[in-house]
A and B are shown apart, each in its own frame.
Chain A
Amino acid sequence: DADVTQTPRNRITKTGKRIMLECSQTKGHDRMYWYRQDPGLGLRLIYYSFDVKDINKGEISDGYSVSRQAQAKFSLSLESAIPNQTALYFCATSEVAGQYTGELFFGEGSRLTVL
């Protein structure tokens, strides 16, 4: 089983719909992240959480919200999806020691298409 699991893997939805992408991890890491990948733009940070009570905006948080339900779970919501949110979304984790190593552990990605 994957250490970082994202659901759904693929989703097609319509403009205006509410969408939730879920991430769970079995690595025991405190830190969790949501990134967005667009062709030609690399990965951009949406939100990150250093523990259950700590949520921080990344560089492109507008139009998104997150919930850290437990140490192992971090969900990303699009309250009213729009076509330019069509992208590949990644959840990632790191351990506290990762602040010195920088290693992120990624899920397999959730491809979202907004029509």
Chain B
Amino acid sequence: AQTVTQSQPEMSVQEAETVTLSCTYDTSENNYYLFWYKQPPSRQMILVIRQEAYKQQNATENRFSVNFQKAAKSFSLKISDSQLGDTAMYFCAFMKHGGGRRIIFGKGTRLHILP
């Protein structure tokens, strides 16, 4: 069974700094997808970034980028030039390619951006 581990329950950084959120996962699959979802205080979750395991190039979306290390089963999220609006709970998630399409979430990291 796949598992997703986020080892940092909570983090705080100053506005404009760069912050990295850690995620590790365990799977025997070779083809899969990894995600970072953001849940702001408004509660609604939105997709931040997605990575296909077969792609070696790390995904980037504006200030958000990932460091995907397939051999190490590591998938960290880097937020550059952090903004107050980045304050949220961040969830790392895994989905195997193939049947089921079930997405497995980590327990989340609560990120506070301080003014």
Contacts and interface: CB of A to CB of B under 8 A. Distances in A.
Interface of A: 31, 40-45, 48, 58, 88, 90, 92, 94, 98-104, 106-109
Give me the 5 closest cross-chain CB pairs, A-B, nearest first: A42-B107, A106-B45, A43-B105, A102-B95, A42-B105
B102 A45 contact: yes
A102 B70 CA distance: 18
A108 B44 contact: yes
Q: How large is the interface on B (under 10, 10 to 19, 20 to 34, 35 or more residues)?
A: 20 to 34
B50 A103 contact: yes
Contacts of B47: 103-104
A22 to B, nearest CB: 17
Contacts, number: 49
A104 B102 contact: no
B91 A102 contact: no
- Looking at B45, B50, B91, which has the most chain A CB atoms within 10 Å of its CB? B45
Nearest to B97: A100
Interface of B: 4, 9, 33, 35, 37, 42-47, 50, 91, 93, 95, 97, 101-103, 105-108
A94 to B, nearest CB: 8
Instruction: Give the dominant DSSP class at A's interface.
Output: mixed
Contacts of A106: 44-46
A40 B42 CA distance: 18
Contact of B42 (A88, A92, A108): A108
B44 A109 contact: yes
A102 B92 CA distance: 13
A44 B43 CA distance: 16
Contact of B50 (A58, A99, A102, A107): A102
B1 to A, nearest CB: 10
Given A40-B9, A43-B91, A102 B103 contact: yes
Contacts of B46: 106
A41 to B, nearest CB: 6
B50 A108 contact: no
Contacts of B42: 108
